[in-house]
Structure 1
Amino acid sequence: MSDETVVIEMREQALWITINRPDKRNAMNAAVIEGIARGYRQAHDDPSIRAIVLTGAGDKAFCAGADLQASGAAFGFDFSRPNGDYADLLRLTQNATKPSIARVNGTCMAGGMGLLCMTDMAIAADHVQFGLPEVKVGVFPMQVMSLLQNIAPRRLINEWALTGEPFDAKAALAAGLLNYVVPAAELDAKVEWLTNRLTDKSPTAIRRGKYAMRAIAAMSFDESIAYTESQIAITAMTEDAKEGMRAFVEKRKPVFPGR
């Protein structure tokens, strides 16, 4: 593994973003946040990239949250700024139009839960422990809740955030935080399987679909149905849609141009 804080590499049609601080349980500092954001931007600038995989180096931790060993720097905010780097990363990922998968290889705690929630799908090894332990050090998972509240049941979030106690992969799966839980030895194979199910589909449909899903999240039914009926008409006019229809009629696998 490289000595870079965040390793960014292409693996076929997926861009892998790996937090590379295994000795620090892949805890986040400014360089980690910047590196993940750089990876997301790189993925969106490169049309050959069809998916993003976010993970941590080693097998002990996905991300243990903020680096609390850095003399309080984790919570050393510049109050003249209305926004923070971690919050900006979550904003960036929510507006992303390429699909993402969290490969949860180890401990996922605190701000690491935010990284988990900011992805579209997640696969975890069955030994992984999850949690929101912020109350144990006198703070609260404020920013994580912005995403978590739309994924997990309220009663569970209350318990996790107010007690700070950890929970296992089985509970995370039941709560909707994960798509799959597998033995550690099968984690990479399952990630590859899910990635392949994304990269052979229409990148245009996925791009426009993620954009629409984000837009309707805050709409009423009447607003969202009016919006989406226009969106399906636009999507049907794309080159990918035309190729998909031709391939269906001709009984062959489509070759999507991504336009």
Structure 2
Amino acid sequence: MLKFERKGAVGVLTFAKAPVNAISFNDWLNVPKKLQELEQEEGLRGIVLIGEGKHFSAGNDHREFVVGGRQDLDKGTAAVRDGLKALAECPLITLAAVSGAAMGSALGLACMTDVRIGTPDAMLGLPEVKVGAFGGYRFIRDSFPDGEARKMQLTGEPISGERAYQLGFFQELVSKEDLLTRATALIEEMTKHLRPTFTRRVKRVFVGTDHQRMWYEYELERLRGVDYLEAGL
């Protein structure tokens, strides 16, 4: 599901699972492993996350939320949590290049990167509430104004890339054709002044202690979300 290509000092991780690059619970188990592999790549300074084809990713396949019991739901959502946490704490500089849909847990992945760029017609949202699931607010709250985050959570309605740029979620808007080129160039710009031995330490400054509270709060939300799902089964 994850394809890797290296472009000089920049690695490109591509979600490649037609037609919408959905991420299964099993796919999530591979995210920390893949990131650990990339941390060992000599000379690699940053990672671009991008989707193959039209979409970044539609997030989790919603059908996985309505099969199995509480144990399966707890295990699956824990895999999502661990994948998000691995990206947030990755020592390499990370950038999400978003076109098309970035929904649910895929939006969470974008939130965990250091910088984000997107296309004007990108669509970002938390549609889980429309299919009987609930969750995602905590991982978008730090990237969007709180009222906007709550509205997205409660309505399930997406916002456009243009709106995301206005809110500061995207640092740049670019065309689909230029998305990957600009993403790799921006990683190079952001790392060219850092000493090679220091590049992987700077993330400790970005993450700091605030993330400890975020993961604690996210775990509470995740467990309440499992309760909500179980009640509807």
Aligned partner (choices 28, 35, 53) of residue 58 of structure 1? 53
Measured in 2, the distance between the counterparts of 1:159 and 1:185 equals: 31
| Equivalent residue number for residue 155 of structure 2 | 163
Q: Structure 1 residues 35-44 or 66-75, which shifts more?
A: 66-75
Aligned partner (choices 75, 84, 90) of residue 90 of structure 1? 84
- Per the normalisation by structure 2, the TM-score is 0.81
Question: Number of aligned pairs?
Answer: 211
Residue 168 of structure 1, CA deviation: 0.5
**Amino acid of the residue matched to residue 3 of structure 2?**
V
Aligned residue for 1:207, secondary structure, equals: coil
| Equivalent residue number for residue 36 of structure 1 | 31
**Amino acid of the residue matched to residue 205 of structure 1?**
F
Measured in 1, the distance between the counterparts of 2:199 and 2:206 equals: 10
The ranges of structure 1 where at least 4 consecutive aligned residues each deviate by more than 3 angstroms after the TM superposition are 69-83, 203-206
2:42 maps to 1:47 = yes
Residue 210 of structure 1, CA deviation: 1.1
C-alpha change, 1:75 and 1:151, in structure 2 (3 Å) is: farther
Measured in 2, the distance between the counterparts of 1:218 and 1:69 equals: 30
C-alpha change, 1:189 and 1:81, in structure 2 (3 Å) is: closer
Where structure 1 has 5 or more consecutive residues not aligned to the other structure, the ranges are 220-259
2:93 maps to 1:99 = yes
Aligned residue for 1:46, secondary structure, equals: coil
Measured in 2, the distance between the counterparts of 1:111 and 1:14 equals: 24
- Per the normalisation by structure 1, the TM-score is 0.73
**Amino acid of the residue matched to residue 7 of structure 1?**
K
| Equivalent residue number for residue 238 of structure 1 | none
Larger radius of gyration: 1
Aligned residue for 1:21, secondary structure, equals: coil
Q: How much identity, in percent, do the aligned residues show?
A: 26
Residue 218 of structure 1, CA deviation: 6.2
Q: Structure 1 residues 77-86 or 122-131, which shifts more?
A: 77-86
Measured in 1, the distance between the counterparts of 2:94 and 2:88 equals: 11
| Equivalent residue number for residue 196 of structure 1 | 188
Aligned residue for 1:22, secondary structure, equals: coil
Where structure 2 has 5 or more consecutive residues not aligned to the other structure, the ranges are 213-233
| Equivalent residue number for residue 235 of structure 1 | none
Deviation per residue, 1:27-77 (Å, 9 max, x gap): 111343234323311121223111011111112x11101113458459874
